[in-house]
Amino acid sequence: MHTDTKGIMAFQPNSTVKVLDPIRENYDNYLLIDVGSNMVNKKFSRDLESVLQRAKDSGVQKIIVPCTSLRTSKEALHLARIYPGALYSTAGIHPHEAKSWEDNYYDELRDIAKNPECVAIGICGLDYNKDFSSPDIQRKVFELQISLAKEIKKPIMLHQKGAHEDFLRIIKTHLPLELPAILHSFTGSFEEAT
């Protein structure tokens, strides 16, 4: 969910997209969840408590720590256990990190994702804007993570930059997803996202 002056996009499975107008909507009717706090970044290690308090004071009720590697998936799960009810983790390999994929990663991500503190698979997807991992390995790792999300029936946190056609083709081969999805990063149009 990205916020700007145009509003907040709220996605529900099997429904239309609703754009919330921040000027007109009463936020008291909504649960405010930050889905993009990189709490495993070392810059938060010294003042994590104050970061969490500032979020709470601002009305944020829950924070999801999106993960980009097996290491960050493990670290985020650890943090979520330290701060139950406030922090939640994901389990996933970002397209930039797809080249690091090893045969045991599927099982390791599944083990992490089966924990109740882990609420989604991802960040996963395709990013052809930067050449950190080859498109072939990105597509393979993306498909494996979609399969994992479907297997364990957890939402999926998606990333797509500069790879719209391949991204849609892969998503369409896995339809119906039958699980909620968050478009964490997306370079397509609003119409393409819906």
Q: What is the pLDDT of residues 29-85, one digit of tens each?
A: 778 888 888 888 888 888 889 999 998 988 889 999 999 999 999 999 999 999 999
Edge to edge, the sheet with strand 118-127 lists 33-34, 62-65, 87-91, 118-127, 156-161, 181-186
Q: In this predicted model, which residue has the larger pLDDT, 130 or 132?
A: 132
pLDDT of the residue at 139: 98
Q: Which fold has domain 3-193?
A: TIM Barrel (3.20.20)
Residue 1 has pLDDT above 60, yes or no: no
Query: pLDDT digit string (tens) for 72-118?
Result: 999 999 999 999 999 999 999 999 999 999 999 999 999 999 999 99
Q: What's the full length of the chain, in residues?
A: 194
Is 2 assigned a ligand-binding role in the annotation?
no
Q: Hey, what are 158's tokens?
A: 């998606």
pTM over 0.85: no
pLDDT of the residue at 3: 36
Bridge-based pairing of strands 118-127 and 62-65 is unpaired
Contact yes or no for 70/108 (Cβ under 8 A): yes
Is 159 assigned a ligand-binding role in the annotation?
yes
Q: In this predicted model, which residue has the larger pLDDT, 120 or 29?
A: 120
Bridge-based pairing of strands 18-20 and 7-10 is antiparallel
